[in-house]
Structure 1
Amino acid sequence: MLRGKKRSSWQKADGLLAIIGKEFDSLGHFLEVVFYNHISGVPDPRTTRHVRTVTGFLGRESKVTMATIINLIYNHRQSRPPTNSVEISLDFSPPDVASPRDINYARPALSTWALQTVVPELHREVWVLTQNDPTNPKDTTQLRAATNGRAKNVRLATWDAFGRVSIPAIASVYKQRAPALWYATEGMGAPTVNGATVLRKRRPHNAVQVGVISCLTLSRNRYARGYLALPLAVWQFACKTHVDEKRIFSRFGFTVHDTTARACLDSLTDSSLDKVRESVAEGIANGTMYWQIVLDNVQQYCRQRDHRLGCQDVLKVGTAATAILLEDCAPGAFNLQDHLDRVMQQEQTKLTIDSLIADINWPYIHELTALTWDRITLMQPIGTNAEHSTETQGMLRALLDFLAQMGLDEKALENLIFMARGDGASIAAIWRIKRYLSAHSEHYKAFRNIVPPGPEIFHTRWAELNAMANNLYGSASSTDPSSLSKSATAAGAKRPSNLKKTDFFPTSHSMKLFFEARVLDCWRYGAFLSYFFNI
């Protein structure tokens, strides 16, 4: 028996289409029947072969995947509407413009369907980012500035949470919890070269993505501000940003409102001071003092923008203090009676530079320096008051206020001493108080518990730095090669605008740079002379 010639795939497809044309209204009608989606609870009209074939094609056995079919349909030349068609402008249409079911041509129908399918997923992922991550107990998505006690199990802002603010860390969280949203924003904001994403050094796109997604989450939920919006608002407060700029950034969704930022700072201060008071009470119970304070005067010149009758520029002054945790102190180091006994015996007259050097554990210092062990010192700002620290009465009231904030009263300081440090003027004011009240019989009221060990090292170094800058920089246009102004010009470094009150770290860094450059230059010149002239 003779067999017919084997038909090609195109011939088979043509024969199948002929059958479909006879049995169905159109190819679309046939595909609608083939991909019938069975509803649970309703009898399934399909045969076993029908179910098995569709199931294999949709994801189990087929070598030709749905992505191949979709690409063939989307890129088919017949799927694009002609230029005179009303559907030519319906690509990627939002729901208020068109529905995919109402579009006849495949290309605009597929793009519109894709857009209207992806956007709800992005909407869902933004909602996910507004909620705390249930898998991470330390997640700070919803960070409350304060609480009135009615909301339960809320996460209040802490200094530790603010210390973890990092653009790469936030980007990693966003990418993990909302991958589709991250991919979409990256595609919109990242520059590409030959199809590859490029990370720029200036204005990197991942930082822009973090800002955009943060605005979206804050727009959806006003409590979803822990990653960026609340820390940025606190940063604006610290930088004394103008109130109009705060309002604009808050309206755009970059930050929370200034009122929320202030409430957050109040909550942070109260919670931190509570921890300090607990630590102080624990130390008192153990017969020691765990904390000291460093204080200084602060001032701010407030200009009046509305020059009405009686309005004039005001210089606001006050006293600020920072509590610093003391660690590894010897037992009994803060015993008041032992201190007073040594003062009465005038043992301070035996204190010399040599005795101080002998008391230092130099092997330990050398070992610590060689191994570069770092320890983070715990500090806590204390509420600033409006007292003049250089005046005797002002310093007295300021000290009493700081002691009260730390939970220290007459009973707590009954047998302990407390160290208060500051610059030279502050230390002098404290000693004046002690001298004027020395006749009082009670130690607390005579301020015998307050022991100023001497001017703070930082203030001493700063005073020396200001003196060196005032003597060595010279005029800004100096041509003297030995002047630091000339060195600053050559190195492209900023010359201090006020030589009597310089910025400590930039100025000290510049001076160190100039010194090292001059030493190297001297060494180069000396080596040159010794090589050629045998000097």
Structure 2
Amino acid sequence: MDRKPPSTSPSVAAPFTPRNNSSASTPANANAPSTQPRLKSKRRNVWEKADGILLTIGKEFDSFAHFLEVMFYNRIPGVPDPRTTRHVRAVTAFLGGETNVTMATIINLLYNHPQSRPSRDSPDFSLHFSPPDISSPRDINCARPALSTWALQIVGPELRRQTWELTQNDASDPTDTTQLRASTNGRAKSIRLATWDTLGRVSIPRIASIYKRHARGLWYVTECCGAPTMNGVTVLRKRRPHNAVVQVGAISCLTLSRNRYASGYLALPLAVWQFVCRIHVDEKRVFSRFGFTVHDTTARACLDSLTDSSMSKLTASVAEGIANGTMYWQLVLDNTQEYCRQRDHRLGREDILKIGTAATAILLEDCAPGAFNLQDHIDRVMLQERRNLTAQSLRADIDWQYVAALLSSAGMTKRRLPKDRVTVMQPLGTNSEHSTETHGMMRVLDFFAQLGLDEKALENLIFMPCGDGASIAAIWRIKKFLCAHTEHYKAFRNVVPPGPEIFHTRWTKLNSISANSYAPASSADPSGLSKSATAAGAKRPTNLPDQHKR
């Protein structure tokens, strides 16, 4: 393209003529027009300056876009930089934010400019926010769809990268539970296996804080998609799901889709929860397909691994206590029932009631040395000092001053248990025996075997199983039947139940009080529990006597 030579000004200034001394004074008529030519041009505003620059650009470049392409030239490594120092400094100051007008202002002006919108007849009209498989920003001529498509194709890979980071364990945090393995074959190194502690730490606010810290862009996008707003402020609705819960669920599905081992946030705990709630197997498959939970097989493998590790710790603790001459654990027994309906009635199939006995091992704390010495217990039994045991003697042994101080407000404040102190429990495998029957309670030895206790281990120690009143009565009945046996283990002399469990006794008393004092539903007696229950809108119990159901 041939360039035209710069045109000269149509007016030429006359040569400067110096004035004499007399002309330095103020003329008689100051407002009269000067006859001398103007030597200094009029001060231009920014619009006139911009027009002059554009005039120069139009003469020196093919177009304004060509000028911008040259202005923001990217240096190629290994090739000499053709730019001048002034050029480099100007671009560096602008892109580095050292100027009064930053890049954000320019981008907003470009995107919101009326001329950046394509007309409805333009092929660029339908290309706003186009993914890579639809169009490239280089193929879009109009500014607004080109900018939106460019921004989308920049943000998409970044969100993909942030999602990938959420699937990786934090190497600097050994307590990180991103990738929790349900089980291990021992070949993989440095894996983080699921434990009861890690599953118990599942909290929606905790997971949300992790997502906000490690994937701010992903959190913002999901918030824009799922949270209603009013005047730009997120609004919490009472009749809608909570925004943070929905976001945590959505991001958890995305991370599990990227990496099937990234199940520690929500997928694995939810699968274990489904197993506990006994959700139908078809629902488990659907939730697994959607990415909400891991597969049911993985959940069962996790529970098997948790059980094996917990039982190993339990037996090790029991063995340690036996070596120290004491007993660290006790059992709490209770009967279980499950009514199994036959959905497919065929010949020989009918509804059955499954019964069994469940046991839970509970850790004993702050026990005195020698408290579980079997010989000391037998010697005290042989003295028959219980013949002199009366209600009055038991009352006299109680330190009532200590009880009063304990129940007072000051005493309760001083002796309050720490918040992090919890009872350590471990469920054991159930059997199919009835705990209230004699031959069924004889199977309590099965639970001893699960704890790693045998005749040799309990040779000089006593063991205290607890339960409801019927279970304790069955144990004492067995001890009476086998009292003539010479071996302590087979005669159940090692088994010393302390009495019925307090919680079971209180629950029995509460049921008795409710049944005896509930009164009919239409009773006008203000002392009847039904009157208070009706006023409070409480549901009526279903196990009341027949005369109270009318």
> Normalised by the size of structure 1, how large is the TM-score?
0.90
Q: How far is the alpha carbon of 1:363 from its aligned partner?
A: 5.4
**Other-structure match for 1:111:** 148
Equivalent residues of 2:182, 2:298 under 8 A apart: yes
Specify which of 135, 139, 146 is matched with residue 98 of structure 1.
135
Q: Does 1:420 align with 2:499?
A: no
Q: How far is the alpha carbon of 1:361 from its aligned partner?
A: 5.1
Looking at structure 2, the residues matched to 325 and 357 of structure 1 have their Cα atoms a distance apart, in angstroms, of 29
Which amino acid in 2 is paired with 1:369? M
**Other-structure match for 2:29:** none
**Superposed counterparts of 1:372-451, under 5 Å:** 372-374=416-418, 375-397=421-443, 399-451=444-496
**Superposed counterparts of 1:260-409, under 5 Å:** 260-360=298-398, 366-367=405-406, 369-371=412-414, 372-374=416-418, 375-397=421-443, 399-409=444-454
Kindly tell me: are residues 298 and 53 of structure 1, through their superposed partners in 2, closer, same or farther at Cα, counting changes over 3 Å?
same
Judge which range, 152-161 or 303-312, deviates more: 303-312
Looking at structure 2, the residues matched to 445 and 271 of structure 1 have their Cα atoms a distance apart, in angstroms, of 30
Q: How far is the alpha carbon of 1:9 from its aligned partner?
A: 1.3
Q: Deviations over 1:436-484 (max 9, x none)?
A: 2222211111111111111111111111111111111123344433321
Looking at structure 1, the residues matched to 523 and 425 of structure 2 have their Cα atoms a distance apart, in angstroms, of 43
**Other-structure match for 2:126:** 89
**Other-structure match for 2:183:** 146
**Other-structure match for 1:32:** 69
Looking at structure 2, the residues matched to 293 and 171 of structure 1 have their Cα atoms a distance apart, in angstroms, of 39
Kindly tell me: are residues 86 and 153 of structure 1, through their superposed partners in 2, closer, same or farther at Cα, counting changes over 3 Å?
same
Q: How far is the alpha carbon of 1:222 from its aligned partner?
A: 1.0
Kindly tell me: are residues 169 and 361 of structure 1, through their superposed partners in 2, closer, same or farther at Cα, counting changes over 3 Å?
farther
Which amino acid in 1 is paired with 2:475? I
Looking at structure 2, the residues matched to 448 and 135 of structure 1 have their Cα atoms a distance apart, in angstroms, of 54
Which amino acid in 2 is paired with 1:93? S
- Aligned with 1:418: secondary structure? coil
Kindly tell me: are residues 210 and 362 of structure 1, through their superposed partners in 2, closer, same or farther at Cα, counting changes over 3 Å?
farther
Looking at structure 2, the residues matched to 140 and 404 of structure 1 have their Cα atoms a distance apart, in angstroms, of 34
Which amino acid in 1 is paired with 2:320? E
Looking at structure 1, the residues matched to 290 and 272 of structure 2 have their Cα atoms a distance apart, in angstroms, of 16
**Other-structure match for 1:174:** 211
- Aligned with 2:356: secondary structure? strand
Equivalent residues of 2:57, 2:64 under 8 A apart: yes
Q: How far is the alpha carbon of 1:358 from its aligned partner?
A: 4.5
Q: How far is the alpha carbon of 1:314 from its aligned partner?
A: 2.3
- Aligned with 1:43: secondary structure? coil
Specify which of 157, 181, 186 is matched with residue 194 of structure 2.
157
**Other-structure match for 1:505:** none
Which amino acid in 1 is paired with 2:168? Q
Q: How far is the alpha carbon of 1:144 from its aligned partner?
A: 1.0
Looking at structure 1, the residues matched to 364 and 412 of structure 2 have their Cα atoms a distance apart, in angstroms, of 20
Looking at structure 1, the residues matched to 73 and 388 of structure 2 have their Cα atoms a distance apart, in angstroms, of 100
Looking at structure 2, the residues matched to 86 and 246 of structure 1 have their Cα atoms a distance apart, in angstroms, of 47
**Other-structure match for 1:241:** 279
Which amino acid in 2 is paired with 1:56? A
**Larger helix fraction of residues:** 1
Looking at structure 2, the residues matched to 363 and 287 of structure 1 have their Cα atoms a distance apart, in angstroms, of 34
- Aligned with 2:465: secondary structure? strand
Which amino acid in 2 is paired with 1:373? L
Query: Which structure has the larger Rg over C-alpha atoms?
Result: 2
Specify which of 2, 17, 23 is matched with residue 60 of structure 2.
23
Query: RMSD between aligned alpha carbons?
Result: 1.7
**Other-structure match for 1:121:** 158
Kindly tell me: are residues 58 and 149 of structure 1, through their superposed partners in 2, closer, same or farther at Cα, counting changes over 3 Å?
same
Which amino acid in 2 is paired with 1:376? V
Q: How far is the alpha carbon of 1:60 from its aligned partner?
A: 4.2
- Aligned with 1:385: secondary structure? coil
**Other-structure match for 1:71:** 108
Kindly tell me: are residues 9 and 392 of structure 1, through their superposed partners in 2, closer, same or farther at Cα, counting changes over 3 Å?
same
Looking at structure 1, the residues matched to 266 and 395 of structure 2 have their Cα atoms a distance apart, in angstroms, of 49
Which amino acid in 1 is paired with 2:267? A
How many positions carry a matched residue from both structures? 499
Q: How far is the alpha carbon of 1:344 from its aligned partner?
A: 1.2
Q: Deviations over 1:475-523 (max 9, x none)?
A: 33444333211211111222222237xxxxxxxxxxxxxxxxxxxxxxx
Looking at structure 2, the residues matched to 36 and 359 of structure 1 have their Cα atoms a distance apart, in angstroms, of 95
Q: Deviations over 1:104-148 (max 9, x none)?
A: 000001111111111111111111111112232101111111111
> Normalised by the size of structure 2, how large is the TM-score?
0.87
- Aligned with 2:333: secondary structure? strand
Q: Deviations over 1:168-215 (max 9, x none)?
A: 111111111111111111111122222211234552201111111111
**Other-structure match for 2:251:** 213
Q: Does 1:195 align with 2:218?
A: no
Looking at structure 1, the residues matched to 115 and 303 of structure 2 have their Cα atoms a distance apart, in angstroms, of 63
Looking at structure 2, the residues matched to 22 and 446 of structure 1 have their Cα atoms a distance apart, in angstroms, of 113
- Aligned with 1:245: secondary structure? helix
Q: Deviations over 1:386-442 (max 9, x none)?
A: 222122222212x11111111111111111000000011111221222222222211
- Aligned with 2:330: secondary structure? strand
- Aligned with 1:297: secondary structure? strand
**Other-structure match for 2:505:** 460
Which amino acid in 1 is paired with 2:100? K
| Same amino acid, percent of matched pairs | 74
Q: How far is the alpha carbon of 1:384 from its aligned partner?
A: 1.6
- Aligned with 1:184: secondary structure? helix
Equivalent residues of 2:97, 2:103 under 8 A apart: no
Q: How far is the alpha carbon of 1:340 from its aligned partner?
A: 0.7
Looking at structure 1, the residues matched to 283 and 430 of structure 2 have their Cα atoms a distance apart, in angstroms, of 26
- Aligned with 1:268: secondary structure? helix
Q: Deviations over 1:365-394 (max 9, x none)?
A: 534634332542111111222222122222
- Aligned with 2:442: secondary structure? helix
Looking at structure 2, the residues matched to 263 and 477 of structure 1 have their Cα atoms a distance apart, in angstroms, of 53
Kindly tell me: are residues 404 and 361 of structure 1, through their superposed partners in 2, closer, same or farther at Cα, counting changes over 3 Å?
farther
